[in-house]
Amino acid sequence: MRNFIFFFLLIKILIFSQFLSLAQQSQQENNIHRIYIIKFDWHTGVIFDREEALNFFPSLQDDFREFNFIEIGWGDKDFYMAEKETFWITFKAGMFPTKSALHVTALMNNPEIHYRGLEMVLIDLSEDDFIRLINYFNRSFALDKNKHNIKLKDGLKANSLFYLSKEKYHIFKTCNAWIARGLKRAGVPIHPFFALTSKNVMKQLKRVDEYKRY
């Protein structure tokens, strides 16, 4: 009888442990955040769910409230915002540390629909890694004396804006290397030193088998 009671209690403990393990696994899965890396000619951008990022992203809490996704890119301020690229703007961006700007675009639809046909990589990040990525973006925004972001002008697309960044652009820190640095902080196995071009960023990401990619 005593052995039966011990065996019965052991079975209950094992069942409870399995239930607890499944509950923890489900909770972890619910904390997965999907991001999208998109290639536009020379540039790459990162897209993420606006609401998921909101608590960790004070620099953009008041902007694009009616949209579901945020896309971020970064680059040399004059080159990025120029209506016409000139030799001097290109030369200056490549040879000297220069002021930079963030380009933020708001999307309503899922990025896979909005950018159908463009090269894209999908990455699932844990909660902690997602927060590290958003903090990396957040820290790049230059702020005024009231701690508000500094809007520069309308962006290159519909529902987009340029913001002043407090970082410096230079030949070893291109727009694509900047994206790669953020991904590396988020635990993505990418080498920013080699990520000078958008082609290399996508090539590195596609080598990582565990990511869902398109």
Q: Give pLDDT tens digits for 20-52.
A: 344 344 434 568 999 999 999 889 999 999 999
pLDDT band for position 171 (50/70/90)?
A: confident
In degrees and rounded to multiples of 5, residue 160 shows phi and psi of -140, 155
42 and 127 together in one domain? yes
Asked if 38 and 214 touch (Cβ cutoff 8 Å), the reply is no
For residue 76, give both structure tokens: 């040399």
- Residue spans of beta strands (DSSP E) within 3-79: 33-40, 43-49, 69-76
Residue 16 in this model has a pLDDT that exceeds 50: no
Residue 104 in contact with residue 160, Cβ under 8 Å? yes
203 CB-near residues (< 8 Å, 6+ apart)? none
Give the domain extent around 146: 33-206
- Mean pLDDT along residues 180-189: 96
143 & 52 share domain:
yes
Q: Where are the beta strands (DSSP E) in the chain?
A: 33-40, 43-49, 69-76, 98-107, 120-125, 151-154, 160-169
Per residue in 76-106, pLDDT (tens digit) is: 998 777 555 554 444 444 555 689 999 999 9
Same domain, 76 and 92: yes
Residue 180 is predicted with a pLDDT of: 97
Other Cβ atoms less than 10 A from the Cβ of 149: the count is 22
214 falls within a domain: no
pLDDT for the residue 66: 95
Are residues 25 and 47 both part of a single domain? no
Segment 65-74, tens digit of pLDDT: 999 999 999 9
- Do 19 and 46 share a domain, yes or no? no
Do 94 and 106 sit in the same domain of this protein? yes
Q: Which residues pair with 33 in a beta bridge?
A: 125
- Is residue 139 in some structural domain? yes
pLDDT at 22 (0 to 100)? 42
Residue 10 has pLDDT above 50, yes or no: no
pLDDT on residue 83: 56
Same-domain status, 142 and 43: yes
Any domain includes 90: yes
77 and 100 in contact (C-beta within 8 Å)?
Answer: yes
pLDDT value at 17 more than 90 = no
Q: What mean pLDDT is reported for the chain?
A: 83
One domain for residues 60 and 161: yes
What total number of domains does the chain contain?
2
In a domain, 211, yes or no: no
